[in-house]
A and B are shown apart, each in its own frame.
Chain A
């Protein structure tokens, strides 16, 4: 009936007075080992917009509630990812009066957004201090004790994820629960997701799962189903090979406020440098011609 892990039978009373070794195996079906790549696959067709991920994230990471205002934007009062909000559920109201849906959440879209843990990661490439590093789990983490607050990572991120915090002047973002992963625990948001819209696992396995799922949905007539951030898909563009946190969407990325073709600033250095040099040369020539004529 329901999916039960065989190891669930090892923990039979209702009390939990100690850590369960490799708990992630029980809750997400995957063991967490250094040297492997981990990430999220967020399947928006299963999202019910409950925001348990937002709460679990803030509770575990001790992030403050800092913007208690009604937005008027559907049920989205969080509005955006920020230095203190590392999961954000977007709500997009579409044709809700069409009584027969296209199946699987096509009228009122909900998507739990998060840091993409890009591969390669533009924020990391822009960081001059080494505060942003790639962990042994192939995730991208900011170390606030090293961060000097230069803010280069902020415009480098094509998704607007990394943000400076006004209190400490440093960059903050999702760590993919680095501390939990070191203890063999599934990240808080994925563990709390009641419908498994947020799935945690090894990136390659998640990518395979995503490909199967999107095909299945297309076969069931969900024409708009598409992947975002898997190799070759939207979101994995402009020098970004793939996103460790990938998504399954049912509409164009822009509808979810995701860039259709994000790119890595480093990709643009050569052409930008080239065009810059050409411009300088052109200006110099023009100046020379003008000044020369006057003489």
Chain B
């Protein structure tokens, strides 16, 4: 949702985020909502600056978010507080699932289809009865029936079976009731440590502020993603919002707060290994996708908007390979590298440590600080042949070989590290032009203010000139493996003596144009699958819609009297839309659910839709349209005029997810991989069965309730510093605000261990130990969990040895453990030991 739309919410739950501290500008809109009477709730292990501004702070033990959210789901269902008209029409709550399906509530914490040997699920029983549900990223036939892809084609023959009376035992509603039966307020309190009455207050505030007249919002950030159950935490919020009708409506939704500048942009045009620009799945060597034809057949969803998929991938190939992409050579499909498995950061860390990876580029990354298990990262860097670091100073990552933790401890010595480090100066934001995509998909252009000093250059300059030189180097090669380098187009215009490539040309290409005459396309609806258009990212079509019109650079706000969608302010993907799925703000007949929450409506006289926003629906499609199922319907023809969720194959919000998730169709509470207690909700299944772990001596994990590591540790950020710390620890004005690392410790634990405020303490895990200063505060509190008193300790992870504000590296404590869907690490919840004192240092280092 748009950040500024949060101001229209009646109830805001900030959970998995310390929004006031890490997103202070966005938090402005939370306070605006509060001024208008909204209830603000903060659910968090710590009492933070966000909690201070909230009406309710619900404290929970780190990593128990799904127990809490599952409790809300149960509360809504048991007390019939959900928005029935909305959910029945717009979600798959009535859909009937295969009779062989078993939920985790009845299955001891696991769903049907679990395969112990493969440590993964078969997804067949999760499907709608007699069909298969396609997802945009269909990794399924890796685990599921051979004919999965052909099964999905049934979607073009009829919609999934439903029972709108909700009495069918296999309908989603009944499955939800079974799945969450155990998530009682007593169980929530027992698992999360949150007092029952506080939990119930949250339920009541959310339910009271949802429905026809009112809307509620969730705001989350990496406090949800950094878990072995991260994706399912977000899914649980989506489920709640689906039940309450808080999607596609003003002030309703889920705001995913992104932590870095343009981290949203780096997902859209991704730095992720398994996606290509615009959420197009990367060809996978393990899938039957050896030709473009096979790839299109497997990846194209038969119904819904994603049916347009071939136009987007062919236009992308055309943008990358230009004239070298033709109908005869599958538009260069064979030039794309194929992925072989998980190539994300965690396995890459391990591959470095194993010596599999020989060289590495670090752009905008300081993994010794930000990566899990910092010592293993440092061991890995020491095994590289070469390492390129582009940054504004010599970061920890660039100086590991002479100042690192392992050097200090004598495990590495500078004369033995063979890694050749190339440190290249990088320009900072105001020294370059380009776009930043923020949390709400808003693509904003910024002009360059000044040249970077000395030899510093932009990332664009570096990548462009590296590519150009590689092209020169391989120009005469006849080796087929060099063909991709030869084919790639790098024809941006260059500016000035520094030969800076034009960022404007890059955005023009991202927007897309016709080929070969390069006339800008106005929207992705103009893209073709025949090679006559080229487009770097279909979702960004419209950012540069005319020859000389950079919409991302536009800054025309709406006037004070409204409407407040600010369509003239920059560009929000897709199609400059501010609220996704906004068709859902009107009822099935096209009437707004309420005047107060009006955003889209059908004008029966004009026979068209009206909205101050860009409509997220097929233009002119009447609410009364129904597919004629006497014959097959493909693409949007299969989506009725009353199904707002056009990116889904059935046009409905998925309360139950048949395809696309590796760890279950419904969120289930599992304990973090390292936890002091047994799973109180599902005693038979302790942790997420699909969680990625690497059983290795350099990445040991703690057993459940290991008495050596009795405390819960959570790591986090501070307002005063930015991520890996390099942009802030070197700035005196920021360094003096948070000058040194520390750990927040509850007074009860501190007094038990004889720790006074500002004392030196040592935190340790099986991965490593760090020393830091104690900040004893009641903002951290002990929890009574399963009859035991559990203490939580918090430690900011920004610090390192570079700059004015320094401190030991919190990530030396964390483990390489990942979410099954995203391989995201679990640095928000682990266990540790704490003692008073300092770490003895070798004499020469101490001097």
Q: Does A18 contact B (CB under 8 A)?
A: no
Chain B residues, CB < 8 A from A66: 736
Is A9 within 8 A of B737, CB to CB?
A: no
Number of residues on chain B facing chain A (CB within 8 A): 69
Q: Does B719 contact A (CB under 8 A)?
A: yes
Interface residues in B15-67 (C-beta closer than 8 Å to A)? 20-21, 24-25, 27-29, 31-32, 34, 47, 49-59
Contacts A51-B719, A96-B778, A104-B53 given; does A14 touch B447 at CB 8 Å = yes
Contacts A72-B758, A100-B55 given; does A50 touch B557 at CB 8 Å = no
Given A50, A65, A68, which contacts B719 in the complex, CB threshold below 8 Å?
A50
Query: Nearest Cβ distance between residue B473 and chain A, in whole angstroms?
Result: 37
Interface residues in B738-773 (C-beta closer than 8 Å to A)? 738-740, 742, 757-758, 773
- Roughly how many angstroms separate A48 CA and B50 CA in the complex, as a whole number? 7
Q: Does B840 contact A (CB under 8 A)?
A: no
Is A70 within 8 A of B742, CB to CB?
A: yes
Chain A residues, CB < 8 A from B557: 4, 8-9
- Roughly how many angstroms separate A173 CA and B735 CA in the complex, as a whole number? 22
Is A9 within 8 A of B559, CB to CB?
A: yes
Given A3, A50, A68, A101, which contacts B732 in the complex, CB threshold below 8 Å?
A68
Chain B residues, CB < 8 A from A110: 49, 52
Chain A residues, CB < 8 A from B742: 70
Please tell me which stretch of B4-12, B277-285, B362-370, B452-460 contacts chain A, meaning at least 4 of its Cβ atoms lie within 8 angstroms of it: B4-12
Interface residues in A51-72 (C-beta closer than 8 Å to B)? 51-52, 54-55, 58-59, 64-70, 72
Chain A residues, CB < 8 A from B846: none
Query: Nearest Cβ distance between residue B4 and chain A, in whole angstroms?
Result: 5
Is A12 within 8 A of B740, CB to CB?
A: no
Given B24, B447, B556, B804, which contacts A15 in the complex, CB threshold below 8 Å?
B447
Interface centre among A69, A70, A78, A109 (most CB of B within 10 A): A70
Is B27 within 8 A of A195, CB to CB?
A: yes
Is A100 within 8 A of B555, CB to CB?
A: no
Is B49 within 8 A of A65, CB to CB?
A: no
Is A65 within 8 A of B732, CB to CB?
A: yes
Chain B residues, CB < 8 A from A99: 56-59, 195, 198
Chain A 60-98 near chain B by CB (<8 Å), digits 1 or 0: 000011111110101101100000000000000100110
Is B555 within 8 A of A14, CB to CB?
A: yes
Is A70 within 8 A of B740, CB to CB?
A: yes
Query: Nearest Cβ distance between residue A45 and chain B, in whole angstroms?
Result: 8
Q: Does B137 contact A (CB under 8 A)?
A: no
- Roughly how many angstroms separate A80 CA and B773 CA in the complex, as a whole number? 22
Given B201, B563, B737, which contacts A100 in the complex, CB threshold below 8 Å?
B201
Query: Nearest Cβ distance between residue B101 and chain A, in whole angstroms?
Result: 38
Is A101 within 8 A of B55, CB to CB?
A: yes
Is A103 within 8 A of B55, CB to CB?
A: yes
Is A2 within 8 A of B32, CB to CB?
A: yes
Tell me the interface secondary structure of chain A in the complex: loop
Is B49 within 8 A of A108, CB to CB?
A: yes
- Roughly how many angstroms separate A12 CA and B556 CA in the complex, as a whole number? 5
Is B447 within 8 A of A48, CB to CB?
A: no
Q: Does A169 contact B (CB under 8 A)?
A: no
Is A97 within 8 A of B778, CB to CB?
A: yes
Interface residues in A103-129 (C-beta closer than 8 Å to B)? 103-105, 107-110
- Roughly how many angstroms separate A51 CA and B719 CA in the complex, as a whole number? 8
Q: Does A35 contact B (CB under 8 A)?
A: no
Chain A residues, CB < 8 A from B34: 104
Q: Which residue of B lies closest to A73 (CB)?
A: B757
Is A55 within 8 A of B734, CB to CB?
A: yes
Interface centre among B21, B58, B555, B736 (most CB of A within 10 A): B736
Q: Does A194 contact B (CB under 8 A)?
A: yes
**Chain A interface category by residue count:** 35 or more
Is B735 within 8 A of A68, CB to CB?
A: yes
- Roughly how many angstroms separate A100 CA and B59 CA in the complex, as a whole number? 11
Interface centre among A1, A59, A101 (most CB of B within 10 A): A1
Q: Which residue of A lies closest to B198 (CB)?
A: A99
Chain B residues, CB < 8 A from A11: 555
- Roughly how many angstroms separate A97 CA and B736 CA in the complex, as a whole number? 29
Chain B residues, CB < 8 A from A93: 777-779
Query: Nearest Cβ distance between residue B749 and chain A, in whole angstroms?
Result: 14
Query: Nearest Cβ distance between residue A190 and chain B, in whole angstroms?
Result: 14
- Roughly how many angstroms separate A5 CA and B444 CA in the complex, as a whole number? 20
Q: Does B311 contact A (CB under 8 A)?
A: no
Chain B residues, CB < 8 A from A75: 49, 718, 738
Given A4, A70, A97, A101, which contacts B758 in the complex, CB threshold below 8 Å?
A70
Q: Which residue of A lies closest to B58 (CB)?
A: A99
- Roughly how many angstroms separate A209 CA and B32 CA in the complex, as a whole number? 16
Contacts A65-B732, A99-B58, A196-B28 given; does A48 touch B49 at CB 8 Å = yes
Is B52 within 8 A of A105, CB to CB?
A: yes
Q: Which residue of A lies closest to B781 (CB)?
A: A97
Q: Which residue of B lies closest to A51 (CB)?
A: B737
Is B732 within 8 A of A64, CB to CB?
A: yes
Chain A residues, CB < 8 A from B564: 1-2
Given A1, A103, A195, which contacts B562 in the complex, CB threshold below 8 Å?
A1
Q: Does A13 contact B (CB under 8 A)?
A: yes
Query: Nearest Cβ distance between residue A219 and chain B, in whole angstroms?
Result: 12
Is B20 within 8 A of A50, CB to CB?
A: yes
- Roughly how many angstroms separate A64 CA and B804 CA in the complex, as a whole number? 13
Q: Does A6 contact B (CB under 8 A)?
A: yes
Q: Which residue of A lies closest to B5 (CB)?
A: A1
Chain A residues, CB < 8 A from B25: 194
Q: Does A49 contact B (CB under 8 A)?
A: yes
Q: Does A46 contact B (CB under 8 A)?
A: yes
Is B446 within 8 A of A14, CB to CB?
A: yes
Contacts A195-B27, A196-B28 given; does A107 touch B47 at CB 8 Å = yes
- Roughly how many angstroms separate A54 CA and B736 CA in the complex, as a whole number? 11
Chain B residues, CB < 8 A from A55: 733-734, 737
Chain A residues, CB < 8 A from B29: 2
Is A195 within 8 A of B31, CB to CB?
A: yes
- Roughly how many angstroms separate A38 CA and B34 CA in the complex, as a whole number? 28
- Roughly how many angstroms separate A59 CA and B734 CA in the complex, as a whole number? 11
Query: Nearest Cβ distance between residue A94 and chain B, in whole angstroms?
Result: 9
Contacts A12-B554, A12-B555, A65-B732 given; does A1 touch B24 at CB 8 Å = no
Q: Which residue of A lies closest to B776 (CB)?
A: A72
Chain B residues, CB < 8 A from A96: 47, 51, 57, 778-779
Query: Nearest Cβ distance between residue A128 and chain B, in whole angstroms?
Result: 34
Q: Which residue of A lies closest to B26 (CB)?
A: A194
Q: Does B711 contact A (CB under 8 A)?
A: no
Is A77 within 8 A of B739, CB to CB?
A: yes
Chain B residues, CB < 8 A from A72: 757-758, 773, 775
- Roughly how many angstroms separate A100 CA and B199 CA in the complex, as a whole number? 11
Is B49 within 8 A of A13, CB to CB?
A: no
- Roughly how many angstroms separate A66 CA and B24 CA in the complex, as a whole number? 26
Given B31, B51, B446, which contacts A46 in the complex, CB threshold below 8 Å?
B31
Chain A 21-65 near chain B by CB (<8 Å), digits 1 or 0: 000000000000000000000000010111110110011000011
Chain B 305-337 near chain A by CB (<8 Å), digits 1 or 0: 000000000000000000000000000000000
Chain B residues, CB < 8 A from A69: 739-740
Chain A residues, CB < 8 A from B563: 1
Is B555 within 8 A of A74, CB to CB?
A: no
Is B47 within 8 A of A49, CB to CB?
A: no
Chain A residues, CB < 8 A from B28: 194-196
Chain B residues, CB < 8 A from A2: 4, 7, 29, 32, 564
A-B contact sample (6 more), CB < 8 A, given A96-B778, A194-B24: A1-B7, A13-B553, A50-B49, A70-B739, A70-B773, A108-B47
Question: Would you list 18 pairs from A and B whose C-beta atoms are within 8 A, ordered by A residue?
Answer: A1-B8, A1-B558, A2-B29, A4-B559, A6-B560, A14-B553, A48-B27, A50-B24, A51-B720, A64-B732, A65-B732, A65-B733, A69-B739, A99-B59, A100-B56, A108-B51, A108-B52, A194-B27
Top-8 shortest CB links A-B: A1-B564, A65-B732, A108-B52, A72-B758, A48-B20, A65-B736, A70-B740, A68-B739
A contact set with B: CB distance below 8 Å: 1-6, 8-9, 11-15, 46, 48-52, 54-55, 58-59, 64-70, 72, 74-75, 77-78, 93, 96-97, 99-101, 103-105, 107-110, 194-196
